[in-house]
Amino acid sequence: MNILTMALFDSVAAPTNGERLTGAVPATPSQPGYLPARSEVPRMAKAIIVTHAGQESRFDFTKLERAKLYGARRRVALDAAGEPCKRASLTQDGRFLLQSGMTAQGYLTPEGRWVPNAELVGLDADGKPLEKQASTLGVAQALEEVPARDLFDLRVTSTYALTVQELDAALGAALDAGKVFRFVFNYRGDYRAEIGFLVKNDAGCFAVVGSPALPQWIEPAAAPPPIPPAEEAEADEIDFEMF
């Protein structure tokens, strides 16, 4: 029985010729409807590579997002001349105006010292430095067959639709049979690698990525938390027109 029972809809593909359309399509990036030239299209990321029984399989991947599946609308603020406004934040002392992207380059300490991202390190719960984990893209990762219930214990952060480059026959047969496989996944170098689950349904292969959801259990003899008393409405406060 396949674990994925939800329907996954195909997103509408944009033109792939890498050229701007003529006519009413704008030719500048600041205008909606702009299509980048071929030289402006970012390169595709490295493939997801996994090994099963000593055989490698390779997948291209595309991140699934609600906006890609169902579309999205965005409210744009305009100035008096009808031009789009750019969002910015004013520091508490009123000295600096921070535009979008500025705070992604580093952090300010409470003393006002600028710390670039290159100097930041990850710390564990005990305050000890963590070792940085390299990206797993383009590097073969071993697959481990796991029960389907393990996927339901995952706090999902990303879901990727996979396009097969090379698929081992044995792995393909296992996926067709509804088998679920776990592997280490790290999109970019970080201090904590995530867990990926390789699954397949009628729509294709998918990688479901996230971290384990660890519930916090209470002691068996612990008293249940108190339930606040419900507020009873007075009879004369009921407005029958709302019915």
Per-domain residue ranges of the chain: 44-67+132-212
pLDDT tens for 10-60 read: 333 344 444 434 444 444 444 544 444 444 444 456 899 999 999 999 999
pLDDT tens for 86-114 read: 888 887 888 878 887 777 777 777 777 87
User: For residues 133 and 193, is the Cβ–Cβ distance under 8 A?
Assistant: yes
Beta strands 154-166 and 97-99, pairing class: unpaired
pLDDT tens for 120-168 read: 788 877 888 888 888 999 999 999 999 999 999 999 999 999 999 999 9
| The model's pTM | 0.61
